[in-house]
Amino acid sequence: MSFAISNELRARLERGGPILALTGAGVSAESGLATFRGPGGMWEGRDPMELATPQAFAADPETVWRFYDWRRKQAAEAAPNPAHVAFAALEQGRDSFRLVTQNVDGLHERAGNRDVLRLHGSLWRLRCLGDCEEHDNLELDLGPLPPRCACGALLRPAVVWFGEPLDPAVLHRAEQFAEEADLVIVAGTSALVYPAAALPEIARLAGAYVVEVNPETTPLSERADVHIAGSAGAVLPRLVEVAGIA
């Protein structure tokens, strides 16, 4: 696709200052994963946003786990797209690049990013409800659902559900990254969910240049320094090229 790159964006890409990327479900959608917020975002006739709550898990852990078991399998079958590959290239080509994601599918890591700050956790981590300890689990077959810990307690996905706060330590790191950034690239997020949606504003007030990459306008569009109307998979490789990263 063809799109204009402002002189200021070009200058900030070329000069090598700290870059912060904030990614959301739209980036994963380009790999074929459901966003759940748009039309057709249903699972077995149910609204996934009603299942992703502590209350739903307490009432029916088996159904919630069937939903997350399906999500894990969908994520495993998906492949990183050009946007994921571009973000990995930015991390490898810059001394100061931070990736903060609202996504839980692990595609950024599979594309090659090694320093990923996951605001909403990961599908590939489980938390024991007995001692609250977490561990990675990449197995596609979790056995009988809902799975249980070796101690006998229920396991839950180590993700942030609706109604739960973000990990304060994770949020603090994200805010620090925003304050230090020279350039912020916001891709594939509607900028509706706080506190993550506040990160571009924190960065802008600290002097960063904020670029939104999204096919649609969002609440962030008017506040960003520039809105590039396009898919992340089409736009990000071009930004990597301008940054001089092979």
Positions annotated as catalytic residues are: 120
Cα–Cα distances in Å, from 106 out to 11, 24, 82, 168, 219?
31, 12, 15, 21, 26
Cis peptide before 146 (omega within 30 of 0): yes
DSSP label at residue 216: S
Give residue 217's region: left, alpha or beta (phi > 0; psi -120 to 50): beta
Q: Is residue 107 within 8 Å of 77, Cβ to Cβ?
A: no
Report d(CA 184, CA 196) in Å as an integer.
13
Strands 183-187 and 155-159: unpaired
β-sheet bridge partners, residue 240: none
